Amino acid sequence: MGTGKVFLVGAGPGDVGLITVKGLEAIKQAGVILYDRLANPKLLEFAPDNCELIYGGKLPDRHFLRQENINDVLVAKALEGKTVIRLKGGDPGVFGRVGEEAEALANHQIPFEIVPGITSGMAAPLYAGIPVTHREHAESFTVVTAHDKSQEGKPLLDWASLARGMDTIAFYMGVRNLPYICENLVAHGKPAETPVILIQWGTFGRQKTLQGTLADIAAKAEKAKFSNPAIILVGYVASLREKISWFEKKPLHGRQILLARTSEGESELAKELMRQGADVIEFPRWKRIAAPVNEEIMGTISSYQKILFTSPESVEEFFTALKNHGVDIRKITADLFGFSIKTINALKERGFIPGLIDEMSDGGKMLVVGDGRAQVQKYENADFWKTSDKKVDEQFFSIFKRMMDDADVNTVVFPSSASVEPFITALQKFGIETESFLKNVQVVGMGKQTMGEVAKLGLLGSGMPKKATKEALVEYLTGPWPEKTPANR
């Protein structure tokens, strides 16, 4: 067994779309990922199923892995012959201690690459509507760590050079030292009326901002209980925010959505919600295990009047099985239906014009194609072809916990009736008391069948969009929150 390779990857500031192409390619080939707190955990969903995930995140009041331990883990895993990804929030070279990690690898003659990332000191201001340089306001820009190894964690800086020589200053993770920062800048010549903006969770849907001046921002931050992770941006360029703020104007900005997952693939619904400004946590994460082909059903496929697919994956698995067994798809004369819009789209990509389950009439010989019997209990006379089994990936439970700790979920979306029971079961297994949790959030179902499943479990639903489409869901979520009812249909 030879030595592996380590990729020291910048994950970007938070928005999943801001990781580099090279960084994402590295994640997709990983055998081990050692990730930080500020690297968006959603990036881990691009890793292979058998990838080992290790949390090395650091909080101000405690360390999960100290830097020397992180170095040791990188060396040990690479010596096992594995491809190791060190996933670090922002850019690894900007207060990311990548130099220490690279030195440790070099000392052991372990090959490595450093993949730059977008640093939050530039990205967070841009998402708040502020370029860090501007021909009329700022010709210089600097980044500063606002806590270091000095006594009491107060940064020892050349305050005179910062105050007089820099137009725009981005302080990283410095909310605790904000009074100290403001006092020193003013004492060394920065005007007290200089604009300051705090940007918390920059580029996430939960991004928050607080504006003031060097004279009053510390008091405002204390009153608002503003906390890290945050960028403190100092400079007159901050005045541009009123004109060019864009991210916080997205229709779903501030929505923190927990989306019930029914498959292990990428969710187009989740991507659309994020495009519209929401934070989306998908739960649970699934693993798929292939099942043997049902030879009897395959031999009589032309005898069915209706075929219902329970997931997009079941579509792929069904038609792959037909192809591998030399079955002509023209033998399929049945009307095709899907449990969800995503399943419908998978059928459309193959040239069919399917219908949603709500449009399916009674009667006729029926086949259900899917990954479990839970969805077909109501179709007692139907035949069932189990194309695969799904299993909740419990490795992601700890990751889900950290995402929930950092978020403040205000919306739960069930994309299909098949998503309700597995989601509730997984939440309970995770240790969340479902009824009390859902009581304080908006619960949305994509269609009457879905809301019926919510009601059947005795839960309160908030409502549903006019159509079971991602566009209709976005429109619904931009409206007022309705009162909850047991069924709300």
pLDDT of 450-467, one tens digit each?
999 888 888 877 889 999
The verdict on domain 256-285+393-477 having CATH code 3.40.50.10090 is yes
pLDDT band at 485 (very low <50, low <70, confident <90, very high): low
pLDDT of residue 489: 38
Is residue 312 scored above 90 in pLDDT? Answer: no
CB atoms within 10 A of CB 162: 20
pLDDT of residue 487: 45
pLDDT band at 363 (very low <50, low <70, confident <90, very high): confident
pLDDT of residue 348: 95
**Topology given in CATH for the domain delimited by 122-248:** 3.30.950
Compute the average pLDDT of residues 146-161: 78
Distance separating alpha carbons of residues 153 and 82, to the nearest angstrom: 37
Backbone conformation region of residue 160, classed left if phi is above 0, alpha if psi is from -120 to 50, else beta: alpha
Mean pLDDT over the full length of the chain: 90
What stretch(es) of the chain map to CATH 3.40.50.10090?
Answer: 256-285+393-477, 290-387
What stretch(es) of the chain map to CATH 3.40.1010.10?
Answer: 5-118
DSSP state of 277: T
Distance separating alpha carbons of residues 98 and 87, to the nearest angstrom: 11
Cβ-based burial of 49 (10 A; exposed 0-12, middle 13-18, buried ≥19): exposed
Residue 36 annotated as catalytic: yes
Distance separating alpha carbons of residues 295 and 326, to the nearest angstrom: 12
Is residue 68 scored above 70 in pLDDT? Answer: yes
> Which CATH number, 3.20.20.70, 3.40.1010.10, 3.30.70.20, 3.40.50.300, labels domain 5-118?
3.40.1010.10
Q: What is the CATH number of domain 290-387?
A: 3.40.50.10090
Q: Pick 64 or 214 by higher pLDDT.
A: 214
pLDDT band at 357 (very low <50, low <70, confident <90, very high): confident
Q: Supply the pTM of this predicted model.
A: 0.82
Of the residues 58, 154, 250, 448, which is catalytic? 58
Residue 360 annotated as catalytic: no
Distance separating alpha carbons of residues 47 and 33, to the nearest angstrom: 8
pLDDT of residue 59: 59
Contact between residue 301 and residue 384 where contact means Cβ atoms under 8 Å apart: no
**Cα distances (angstroms) measured from residue 91 to each of 9, 19, 96, 173, 470:** 8, 10, 7, 15, 33
Q: Which of 187-196, 197-206, 218-227, 417-426 has the lowest mean pLDDT?
A: 417-426
Of the residues 5, 15, 36, 306, which is catalytic? 36
Of the residues 173, 274, 446, 464, which is catalytic? 173
**For the chain, what percent of residues have pLDDT higher than 90?**
64
**Phi/psi of residue 18, nearest 5 degrees:** -95, 5
pLDDT of residue 342: 83
Q: Pick 1 or 449 by higher pLDDT.
A: 449
